[in-house]
Amino acid sequence: PYAAPPVGPLRWRSPQPAAAWTSPRDATRFGTPCFASPLPGPMQGPPQSEDCLTLNVWTPAMAGKHPVMVWIHGGGFEFGSSAQPGYDGTVLAKHGVVVVSFNYRLGVLGFLAHPTLDREGPASGDYGLQDQVAALRWVRANIAAFGGDPANVTIFGESAGAHAVGILMASPLAKGLFAKAIAESGAFWDSEHGSLSTHAEATARGVAFQQQMAATDLAALRALPAEQLNAAGRWDVRRDPGTTVFSPSVDGYVLREAPAATFARGAAAKVPLLAGWNAREETPLFLPRALPHDTPDAFRAGEAQLFGADRTAVVEAAYPSADPARSSATLVGDLVISEQTWEMLALQQQARRTGVYAYQFSFTSPYSPIANHTAEVKYVFGNLSPPPPGRGGGAPGERDRATAERMTAYWTNFAAKGDPNGPGLPNWPSYAGPGSQLLAITPDSTSAAAETGTDRFQLIRSYRQTGRLPDRWRTVAP
């Protein structure tokens, strides 16, 4: 445990210190996952609990001062846990790093904002993010006992975990808790409906939830079973979790402004950054949220609503309506993942000039046939297990193993020294800003190449003002 169980009066409060113990503790099994929405698809997660704030450690040796990599799991801040098999840190630890992963509160139990909660303590809403900060504080205080160097901590995550990396880089609460950052497919928690919620939007959502639950006050809401709250606040894959359910908001405590605004001011943590995105980010999770695309006219109408009718020529060049299905898919992937990841890289490079590394992942094989959202994770961790029956894909081949070996080496090299390059690896150039070279991880090679998609990303970036995308995007279909 890195914090006390957030149960009873500690529900919807900042994480509190874990109680000490004197007898041996069984550390051979994962802790119980936090309450969450069901995993997309046929797979269901294990039993869940509010008593879930635990972390896990893999270490190459209990002595020494090894680099530390702290993994933040994805899941839209709505589902997932540190116990997912793909996040096993064994292979990474064999590369000489200490690996830490942890659970954090999700959904309504992790991100409910409410005016009464504002009066009880720090601004309400971002309890799941506060859990992440508490885990990093645990690492700083304790990781030396596991052979880790508390002065050489790299945070890394994918999807919501990458958005958390960007948020932590922008948060004053996380200052000094990590020395490097890796963001795989995520940055600012923006979406196709604009930037993350304001505190006013988040508290209005919380008051509406109290009314939905027929709770007379916050005490009555706290008294309800966690199972009932979780079921009522569940996320639907067809909806944007950033604006429809409970997820990070600009609470004034963890985040004082939109993360993009902090990066634009050069005020984010000036640490080395490695980040990138996949070729088919929209697949499969975000496709239900794409603009209408049954016909070119339907897609053009959605484009005009989003970007304005006066930008038709520029938008058409970026997202041609002649192929509405492909363009709508590319657009939603850009809005939810790719553009903001690119923009974070550009802003961090502008602030640091050196120590920033970008990648684009388009690797495919019979084992991994689409470079979709999450496709790179198994290669980063080196966990090339065959897919479960009925899930498609073949057994990993030699190209899969070679790609995994290179990616685990790049990631652990970066954690060790802030530079992914090392003996036997293709050169990964430092990122020099929009349109420059990055590392392209393709089916044929892993090598330096020119960035692609820059024009699309610059179009979206042109709509950002003072760090926020237009609030009117809240009303754009679907």
Q: Is 23 a catalytic residue?
A: no
CA distance 71 to 182: 9
How many Cα atoms within 13 Å fall on the side-chain side of residue 210? 21
% helix / strand / coil in the chain, to the nearest 5?
Answer: 40, 15, 50
Question: Which bin fits 155, alpha (ψ -120 to 50), beta or left (φ > 0)?
Answer: beta
SS3 label, residue 176: coil
**pLDDT computed for residue 43 by the predictor:** 46
Q: Give phi and psi for 120, each to the nearest 5.
A: -85, -20
8 Å CB contact between 281 and 338: yes
Q: Is 373 a catalytic residue?
A: yes
| 405: amino acid identity, one letter | E
Q: Is 293 a catalytic residue?
A: no
Reference 70, options 92, 51, 85, 52; nearest CA is: 92
CA distance 312 to 321: 10
CA distance 77 to 54: 17
**The pair of three-digit structure tokens given for residue 6, joined into one six-digit string:** 């957030």
Helical residues (DSSP H) of 225-274, grouped into ranges: 226-232, 241-244, 259-264
Q: What does the pLDDT look like over 1-43, one tens digit per residue?
A: 999 999 999 999 999 999 999 999 999 999 999 999 876 554 4
| 259: amino acid identity, one letter | P
- Residues with Cβ within 8 Å of 153's Cβ and at least 6 positions away in sequence, in order, are 67, 68, 69, 70, 136, 139, 140, 143, 177, 178, 179, 180
H or E segment to which residue 414 belongs: helix 398-417
**pLDDT computed for residue 218 by the predictor:** 95
H or E segment to which residue 299 belongs: helix 296-307
Omega before residue 284 within 30° of 0, cis: yes
Per-residue tens of pLDDT for the chain, all 478 residues: 999 999 999 999 999 999 999 999 999 999 999 999 876 554 455 689 999 999 999 999 989 999 999 999 999 999 999 999 999 999 999 999 999 999 999 999 999 999 999 999 899 999 999 999 999 999 999 999 999 999 999 999 999 999 999 999 999 999 999 999 999 999 999 999 999 999 999 999 999 999 999 999 999 999 999 999 999 998 888 899 999 999 999 999 999 999 999 999 999 999 999 999 999 999 999 999 999 999 999 999 999 999 998 888 899 999 999 999 999 999 999 999 999 999 999 999 999 989 999 999 999 999 999 999 999 999 999 999 877 666 667 899 999 999 999 999 999 999 999 999 999 999 999 999 999 999 999 999 999 999 999 999 999 999 999 999 999 999 997 7
8 Å CB contact between 36 and 49: no
Q: How far apart are the first and last CA of the chain?
A: 41
Residue ranges of domains in the chain, CATH in brackets: 8-17+27-475 (3.40.50.1820)
Omega before residue 115 within 30° of 0, cis: no
Report DSSP state, residue 233: T
Catalytic residue of the set 50, 158, 184, 282: 282
Catalytic residue of the set 373, 376, 430, 451: 373
Omega before residue 67 within 30° of 0, cis: no
**What CA dihedral angle connects 282, 288, 289 and 295, to 10 degrees?**
100
Catalytic residue of the set 159, 171, 197, 327: 159
Q: What does the pLDDT look like over 104-116, one tens digit per residue?
A: 999 999 999 999 9
With 0.85 as the threshold, say if the pTM is over it.
yes
CA distance 150 to 143: 6
Instruction: Give the β-pairing of 197-198 and 148-158.
Output: unpaired
Q: How far is CA 422 from CA 49, 352, 388, in A?
A: 43, 22, 34
